[in-house]
Structure 1
Amino acid sequence: MTTGCKTTTIFLTVLCGLLLTILGLTQNWPTLAWPALAVLLVGIPVAVFRIAAARRGTLPVDVEEQRTDPPIERREVRVRQVSLPSKWADYDFVFSAMVRWCPLEPPGNDPVLNPAGLAVEAVLERARLITEKREPGRPSLVQHELSGALSRMRPEATRHLQVMAEDITLVLREPDQERLEQLAVVRKDKAVWEHQRKYEQSKRQYLSEDVLKDTGSTVVWWLAKNDDRVEKTVADLGLLAQLTSAANDTDVPERLRDLIPRPYGEQLGPDLAQESHPLFEQEPSAVDRFEAFLDSMGFTDGDIRRGLLVRQIADAIKTQDQQEVAEDLLRRFDPPTDTTPESDEPPASAHGTPDEPPGATPGAPPIE
């Protein structure tokens, strides 16, 4: 019988006793009736309590009696900002999670005084076995991997608890994340540079070992590049021969030198051409060519017409911004004399009359 039932029984017994007493007084019951009434009022509650005690197994248990078990302990703990190693030295993950556990039957008489410590240790060990094999560049991916691996209840090493973790976060410290981003940029730039360098090496190798190996290979390559335009390829033979020789650091073959647009000695320079090979002669200057012209016309040394013609040509080319060539002509063919004229007037042979050109000889026919 519960406490409430007992209280109700006693209250009803007292109430019935009062009612019967009032009834006996008003009805003038005999004196022997009062002891019987007292026995009845005491016996009825006692009988009720005994009957209730005999049937206690089928009645609800009192709430107070349910509190004989020890209070339920808390079986979760929050873990915050724990460093876990990664595959790279000095780049640690930062781990946070809610650790949960439930007790197992201990294998012996070895009580667990701090189950939270055992649970946290077990979770961190399981997480460490995963993070130490992962690179720190993708912490969010490793976080999801840990969420799956730690979501199952597993017994810890002492077999006292089953442990799991949830609400897991895994990040890198901000300075480490910035360093990794900088390293990623450097690696990308290096990869691009390596590809460019290999491309240039491959191109140089192709040109030196295939295209420019000899003049024949160069001509075939040039013919293919110009869509079988044979005339253009033939016109560029001299240029191709020079290009092949320069690429192989050799001289142009003698059989191809006539195809070069300009004399081969001019390509090297006058001084270098004379020093490098006796066959290469300096190209004749304008004065040399004019001297050859005078000789071919029969104006030999000592001929008056020779100097006259030279002075006229020199005066004419001065107006064409050829001052240097004009001075070379006069220096070679009409050098100044050492004699000084006695009068202030210039000799007629040097300047001529007003009607005659400078340097003309009196009476000499004009040159047309």
Structure 2
Amino acid sequence: MTTGRKTTTVFLTVLCALLLTILGLVQEWPLWAWAALAVAVAGVPAAAFKIAAVRRGALPADFTNFIPAAPIERREHRVSRVSLPSNWDDYEFLFSATVRWHPLETHGDDPVLNPAGLAVEAILDRARTLTEQREPGQVSFVQHELSGALGRMRPDRAGHLRVMAENITLTLHEPDQERLNRLAEVRKDEAVWEHQRKYEQSMREYLGADVLKDTGSAVVWWLAKNDNHIERTVADLGLLAQLTSAANDTDIPDRLRGLIAASDEPSTPVGPEQTAPDHFEAFLTGMGLTRGDDKWAMLTKQIADVIRTQDKHETADELLRRYDPPADFATSADDRRDEPEEPA
């Protein structure tokens, strides 16, 4: 019985007692009636309280509304920036995730457990198995791999929990990310440089061993370059003879000197004292090129490289000094001699 009900019962009992007392005085009840009234007034509240106690049990009916609910076990834990190994030494992934678990059926003799610790350990073991086989440069791809691999509830090694992870992020230490970016740029530049080096080497081999091997090869090459214009090729025979002589650092054969003398605009008198650079200058001017022209510098560079493959460094250096190619094409003679010789 609640406090309100008790108060009401007592109030009604007292009120009834007063009414009966007034009635007894008016009707002049005998003494035994007054004794019975006193017993009734005292016994009715006691009987009402006793009946109410038997009906409500151990606790009042309304008291159950104030009993706190059983605490709900928290089954998730957040881990942040845990280092995991990668496939590269000294490069580590930083792992963050929300770890969730569900307890399996336990037995009475099981030891007291820390479920959060067991769940985190199980997730890190699963994540490490994957990350240690991946390169740090694949960090974005590995993050998605982990989301799939850890997104399923799986039991831990001891069989106490089923564990999964979500909200996974994977990053690198900032200095490591900067190093990887620089390495990627270097690899790209190296690939371009290697391509250019192979191209130049192939061009030198093509010019030296094929096109400018002798005057006949140069004539065939020039004929193909001019769409089989025989008249133009014949007119340029003297220039081709000079170019071949300069490329091979040899004197022009006597049988070809007449061709040079018959050329339209010889820039340098032809004689036995002429050197390879003299022949080359005659070739350039005969082609209508002038100093400062990009083709002038490009041909100078390529012919000098061809001559250098024949171990005639002095002649190549003389070409570069006399015709002063731009800095993009010229390389100092001392630096070139220090470079290892490339295979033909």
Normalised to the residue count of structure 1, the TM-score between the two structures is: 0.60
- On the 8 A contact 1:155/1:162 being kept in 2, the answer is yes
Quote the Cα distance in structure 1 between the aligned partners of 2:229 and 2:112.
Answer: 95
Question: What corresponds to 2:40 in structure 1?
Answer: 36
Q: Percent sequence identity over matched residues? A: 60
Separation of aligned partners in 1, 2:108 and 2:222 = 92
Q: Secondary structure at the match of 1:266?
A: coil
Partner Cα distance (1:161, 1:63) in 2: 35
CA distance in 2, matches of 1:166, 1:130: 16
Alignment deviations for residues 100-119 of structure 1 (CA, whole Å, 9 cap, x no partner): 33322226722343222111
Counterpart for residue 272 of structure 2: 265
Number of the residue aligned with 2:281: none
Q: Please give the secondary structure, in 1, of the residue aligned with 2:273.
A: helix
Residue 192 (structure 1) aligns with: 192
* Aligned CA distance change for structure 1 residues 185 and 157 (closer, same or farther; 3 Å): same
Q: How many Å separate the matches in 2 of 1:60 and 1:149? A: 51
- For residues 244 and 61 of structure 1, what CA distance do their matches in structure 2 show? 115
In structure 2, what is the Cα distance between the partners aligned to 1:36 and 1:73?
Answer: 56
Unaligned runs of 5+ in 1: 270-368
Shift of 1:85: 0.9
Q: Tell me, yes or no, if the aligned pair for 1:86 and 1:92 is still in contact at 8 Å.
A: yes
Q: Does residue 46 of structure 1 match 2:43? A: no
- Alpha-carbon distance between aligned partners in 1 of 2:180 and 2:222, rounded to the nearest angstrom: 49
- Between 1:165-174 and 1:120-129, the stretch displaced more is 165-174
Distance across 2 between alignment mates of 1:102 and 1:61: 34
User: Which residue identity lines up with residue 41 of structure 1 in the other structure?
Assistant: P
Q: Structure 1 residues 139 and 237, CA, compared in 2 at 3 Å: closer, same or farther?
A: same
Structure 2 partner of 1:182? 182
- Which piece of structure 1 moves more, 204-213 or 260-269? 260-269
- Greater relative contact order: 1 or 2 (C-alpha under 8 angstroms, separation 6 or more)? 2
The unaligned stretches of length 5 or more in structure 2 are 262-268, 277-344
Alignment-derived partner of residue 64 in structure 2: 62
CA gap 1:11/1:75 in 2 versus in 1, 3 angstroms: same
Match of 2:303 in 1: none
TM-score for the superposition, normalised by structure 2 = 0.64
Report SS of the residue matched to 1:267. Answer: coil
- Deviation at 1:61? 8.1
Superposed CA RMSD in Å reads 3.3
| Mapped partners of 1:163, 1:61: distance in 2 | 40
Q: CA deviation at 1:266?
A: 3.5
In 2: Cα distance, 1:159 partner to 1:176 partner: 38
